[in-house]
A = this chain, B = another copy of it.
Amino acid sequence: MAIKKEKVSKELILEAARNVFIEKGFDGARMQQIADRAGANKALLHYYFSTKESLFEDVFKEAFSTFAPHFHDELLKVKSFKSFLVFFLDIYIKLLLNHPYLPLFILSELQRNPDKLAQIVKGIVDFELIQQMIKKEMDDGNVVKMDVRELIVNILSLCIFPFAGRPMMQRVLWKNDEVGYVNFLNQRAESIYKFLESTLFINN
């Protein structure tokens, strides 16, 4: 590929590494495959990123940063938890629809190497402000009182699991109807909101 500019190669490799690592995980990824997909040579990967480990870390850092819920100012400026929730679900589900393999990748790799990757993760996510905001809403009597962290886990569960668990859920519940499952995912933001808003049981 003699046509390519200098800086472009590095980006092509990173792009290829992103795809391969996220699809196969660190252990399953092959430098050769990354090179192939980047249209480059294996040696070039080492020229730019020295080791597989180091290339992976770059990918992971970026991926985690994408995956972690971010609470920008606009999101925190909403006037109630209810509107925050609508806003957040919309943004976050859209993100997951665009990066469906991210959840399982992040969770698996964090499991594989918690100590090292925890370092990388440090400082990227901050649930402090959002926890305070929810707590206030509970104190004000706008939201049912419960452990705030638990509530956050519940919301994230409902968002993330349908993506991370897709290989299983689509098969056993949707009988491998791919289109049907995609529809389900597309409506997910709205569904979660409705589910949370309603009571599950009618009597008693």
Contact = CB atoms under 8 A, between A and B. Distances in A.
In which size bucket is the chain A interface?
A: 35 or more
Residue of A125, A198, A201 with most chain B CB atoms under a 10 A cut-off = A201
A72 to B, nearest CB: 17
A51 B204 CA distance: 56
Q: Report how many copies the assembly holds.
A: 2
A197 B201 contact: yes
Given A160-B165, A173-B153, A200 B197 contact: yes
A8 interface: no
Interface string A146-176: 1101101110111011101101110111101
Contacts of A154: 158, 195
Interface string A117-130: 01001000101000
Interface of A: 24-25, 27-28, 68, 82, 101, 104, 106-108, 110-112, 114, 118, 121, 125, 127, 141-144, 146-147, 149-150, 152-154, 156-158, 160-162, 164-165, 167-169, 171-174, 176, 184, 191, 194-204
